[in-house]
């Protein structure tokens, strides 16, 4: 083994270790072996084609950053992919490929300079074309088709579709999509952009994170080019800004956004925003902006229920051409109930394990992976457990929860319990109803809906539900 390569790689790992969650680190970085370092190009050996693609897709930025830090700006990365690990008779078979993503990343980095010289280059404008063309910054994999609909996201998804069909000419302007991490905000926002481009190729679409917007604004501001900045944004037909919670306290950027918002809205252009909180709970955002956010529709994304989690997993598998036994899919869907990103992460860890160990995916492997790589439950959460937790939380007597009492506190506690039972157990609506003194499934549906509605309008109620949700999650670990 090349000593220099090893040294460089060890240094990279030190940084990567601090940044990547340990289970991801274990899955994706520990198996990598440094092979050689020549002409400032590091070759690393990876166990499979799949592994290589995964690194390229998910970690190329991190790899590029750390490697450039070690080797300087012209650092390069190549992969040696294990095709066959060989045996006594046959030598291992490998294949060398260069990191495509790494190259693109390096180019991109030049397009997004932090220090901008005057006149300010706009990073979204494709240079060298006569008519100004704006790169919409969309990732084509995020489509409506790939976004599974369930109770958790129906309103947001349908509103998104309506917006994409008639951008600017619908009553959802702005459309604000909000929800916790990994629940699909970026996916849905991007799907709207992609769908607009598909249906209306001439519309100018731009997706930008609020952080990038703020950085750009500051660059322009330093160069006394704020007007250029605002004018540029006023040319857009569909402006999608992701994670507006990061506008928090960026006063000047908010002023610019306010001007842009007003201009676009008045000219019948579409705005799509995402946020990790509902607009009324956003802190550090000017009231005049918040009141405009409320002009259109705010739609939330919730944690998908068990059935939807199964649908999502099956969709991902179908898209990637993968197969695994239904019981494994059910096992994952049942145990991973935090968010969709975790769900995907688990699926991928499982694939990696199966590919590394050259072993079919079965329930045993799934159990092993879930135990090792995701801190999660082997414990079953039952309706009874949830009932007891809610009773304790609200100091409501257990028998009252099951009886027909109509007292408001009790009704709410009962509704929340049904909601949590739907989200965290795999019982049918019918079974859940039966656990509440023989109510029928429509009562359960109604309860779940009421809880969702109240969470939107009553922040104390929402806090209570979220806290309980956490307790249930902890109990499942
Ligand atoms: P957020 O921006 O809310 O943190 P993302 O949009 O990045 O979440 O979603 C995390 C991952 O989960 C993405 O890979 C996305 O494709 C996937 N995802 C989320 N919701 C769905 C859904 N309803 N159907 C299919 N995939 C989903
Ligand atoms: Mg996001």
Ligand 1 mean position to 454 CA, how many Å?
24
Q: Which atom of ligand 1 is nearest to the CA of 343?
A: 12
Residue 385 to residue 390: CA distance in whole angstroms? 9
Ligand 1 and 148: CB distance under 6 A: yes
Residue 237 to residue 134: CA distance in whole angstroms? 11
What's the pLDDT band for 249 if we cut at 50, 70, 90?
confident
Q: Percent of the chain having pLDDT more than 70?
A: 89
What's the pLDDT band for 117 if we cut at 50, 70, 90?
very low
CB 169 within 8 A of CB 268: yes
- For 369-373, what is the mean pLDDT? 70
Ligand 1 mean position to 318 CA, how many Å?
16
Give, in order, the Cα–Cα distances in Å from 403 to each of 322, 331, 406, 410. 47, 33, 9, 10
Q: Which residues contact 14 (CB under 8 A, 6 or more apart)?
A: none
Q: Do domains 3-106 and 154-301 have the same CATH topology?
A: no
CB 373 within 8 A of CB 463: no
Residue 425 to residue 467: CA distance in whole angstroms? 18
Ligand 1 and 272: CB distance under 6 A: no
At 129-142, the pLDDT tens digits run 444 578 899 999 99
- For 408-421, what is the mean pLDDT? 94
Residue 179 phi, psi dihedral angles, 5° rounding: 165, 170
Q: Is the peptide bond before 119 cis (omega within 30 degrees of 0)?
A: yes
At 176-188, the pLDDT tens digits run 999 999 999 999 9
Ligand 1 and 34: CB distance under 6 A: no
Ligand index nearest the alpha carbon of residue 341: 1
- What residues form DSSP beta bridges with 80? 45, 96
Pick the range with the lowest mean pLDDT from 45-49, 297-301, 330-334. 45-49
Largest CA distance in the chain: 78
What is the chain's Cα-based Rg? 25
Q: Does the domain spanning 154-301 belong to CATH 3.40.50.300?
A: yes
Q: Is the peptide bond before 233 cis (omega within 30 degrees of 0)?
A: no
Ligand 1 and 182: CB distance under 6 A: yes
Please give the pLDDT value at position 37.
93
CB 28 within 8 A of CB 55: yes
Q: Which atom of ligand 1 is nearest to the CA of 304?
A: 23
Task: Look at residues 156, 138, 259, 146 and name the one whose alpha carbon lies nearest to residue 208.
Answer: 138
Give, in order, the Cα–Cα distances in Å from 433 to each of 228, 244, 312, 408, 473. 60, 39, 26, 19, 22
Q: Which two tokens stand for residue 347?
A: 């699926």
Ligand index nearest the alpha carbon of residue 145: 1
pTM of the complete model = 0.62
Ligand 1 and 185: CB distance under 6 A: yes
Residue 114 pLDDT > 50, yes or no?
A: no
Strand pairing of 93-98 and 297-300? unpaired
Strand pairing of 297-300 and 175-178? parallel
Residue 290 to residue 69: CA distance in whole angstroms? 41
Query: Cα 189 vs. chain centroid, distance in angstroms?
Result: 11
Query: Cα 428 vs. chain centroid, distance in angstroms?
Result: 28
Ligand 1 and 153: CB distance under 6 A: yes
Q: Does the domain spanning 3-106 belong to CATH 1.10.10.10?
A: no
Residue 237 pLDDT > 70, yes or no?
A: yes
Instruction: State the Cα angle at 139 between 312 and 74, rounded to 5°.
Output: 125
Residue 44 to residue 70: CA distance in whole angstroms? 15
Strand pairing of 76-84 and 93-98? antiparallel
Ligand index nearest the alpha carbon of residue 181: 1
Task: Look at residues 101, 89, 4, 22 and name the one whose alpha carbon lies nearest to residue 60.
Answer: 101
3-class SS shares of the chain: helix, strand, coil, % to 5: 55, 10, 35
Residue 127 to residue 28: CA distance in whole angstroms? 37
Give, in order, the Cα–Cα distances in Å from 72 to each of 106, 110, 192. 12, 15, 39
Ligand 1 mean position to 198 CA, how many Å?
21
CB 300 within 8 A of CB 275: no
Domain 306-370: assigned CATH number: 1.10.8.60
Residue with the two structure tokens 């859940």: 432
Instruction: Of 154-163, 317-326, 400-409, give the range with the top mean pLDDT.
Output: 154-163
Question: Which residue among 303, 340, 347 is best mutated to probe the pocket of ligand 1, counting the most ligand atoms within 8 A of its Cβ?
Answer: 340
Could you tell me the CATH superfamily of domain 383-476? Answer: DnaA protein, C-terminal DNA-binding domain (1.10.1750.10)
Q: What is the DSSP string of 278-314?
A: -GGG--SS-HHHHHHHTTSEEEE-----HHHHHHHHH
Residue 88 pLDDT > 90, yes or no?
A: no
Q: Percent of the chain having pLDDT more than 90?
A: 51
Ligand 1 and 183: CB distance under 6 A: yes
Residue 175 pLDDT > 90, yes or no?
A: yes
Pick the range with the lowest mean pLDDT from 24-38, 87-101, 236-250. 87-101
Q: Which two tokens stand for residue 275?
A: 């946020």
Measured by CA distance, the residue closest to atom 11 of ligand 1 is 341
Going from N- to C-terminal start, the domains of the chain cover 3-106, 154-301, 306-370, 383-476
Ligand 1 mean position to 418 CA, how many Å?
25
Please give the pLDDT value at position 32.
94
Task: Look at residues 340, 319, 354, 355 and name the one whose alpha carbon lies nearest to residue 52.
Answer: 355
Residue 135 to residue 123: CA distance in whole angstroms? 9
């Amino acid at each position: 083994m090349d000593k220099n390569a090893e040294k460089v790689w060890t240094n990279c790992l030190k940084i990567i270790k601090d940044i990547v969650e340990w289970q991801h680190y274990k899955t994706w970085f520990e198996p990598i072996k440094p092979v050689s370092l020549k002409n400032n190009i590091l070759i690393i050996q990876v166990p499979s084609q799949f592994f290589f693609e995964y690194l390229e897709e998910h970690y190329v930025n991190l790899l590029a950053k750390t490697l450039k830090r070690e080797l300087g700006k012209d650092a390069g990365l190549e992969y040696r992919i294990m095709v066959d690990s060989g045996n006594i008779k046959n030598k291992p078979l490998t294949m060398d490929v260069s990191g495509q993503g790494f190259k693109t990343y390096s180019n991109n980095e030049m397009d997004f300079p932090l220090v901008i010289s005057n006149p300010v280059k706009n990073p979204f404008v494709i240079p060298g074309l006569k008519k100004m063309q704006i790169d919409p910054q969309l990732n084509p994999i995020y489509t409506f088709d790939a976004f599974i609909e369930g109770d958790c996201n129906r309103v947001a998804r349908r509103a998104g579709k309506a917006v994409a069909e008639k951008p600017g000419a619908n009553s959802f302007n702005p459309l604000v999509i909000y929800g916790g991490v990994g629940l699909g905000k970026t996916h849905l926002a991007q799907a709207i952009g992609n769908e607009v481009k598909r249906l209306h190729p001439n519309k100018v679409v731009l997706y930008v994170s609020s952080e990038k917007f703020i950085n750009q604004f500051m660059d322009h501001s330093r160069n006394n080019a704020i007007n250029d900045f605002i004018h540029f944004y006023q040319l857009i037909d569909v402006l999608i800004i992701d994670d507006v919670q990061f506008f928090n306290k960026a006063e000047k950027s908010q002023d610019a956004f306010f001007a842009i918002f007003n201009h676009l809205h008045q000219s019948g252009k579409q705005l799509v925003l995402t946020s990790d909180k509902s607009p009324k709970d956003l802190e550090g955002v000017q009231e005049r902006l918040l009141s405009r956010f409320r002009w259109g529709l705010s739609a939330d994304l919730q944690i998908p229920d068990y059935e939807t989690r199964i649908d999502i997993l099956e969709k991902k598998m179908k898209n990637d051409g993968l197969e695994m036994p239904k019981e494994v899919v059910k096992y994952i869907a049942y145990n991973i109930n935090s968010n969709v990103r975790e769900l995907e992460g688990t699926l991928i860890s499982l694939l990696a394990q199966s590919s590394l160990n050259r072993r079919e995916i079965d329930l045993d492997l799934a159990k092993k992976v879930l135990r090792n790589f995701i801190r999660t439950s082997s414990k079953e959460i039952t309706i009874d457990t949830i009932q007891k937790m809610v009773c304790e939380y609200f100091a409501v007597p257990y028998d009252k929860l099951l009886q027909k009492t109509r007292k408001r506190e009790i009704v709410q506690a009962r509704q929340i319990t049904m909601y949590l039972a739907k989200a965290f157990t795999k019982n049918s609506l019918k079974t859940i109803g039966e656990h509440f003194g023989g109510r029928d499934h429509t009562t359960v549906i109604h309860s779940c809906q009421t809880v969702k509605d109240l969470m939107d309008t009553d922040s104390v109620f929402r806090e209570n539900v979220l806290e309980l949700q956490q307790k249930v999650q902890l109990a499942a670990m």
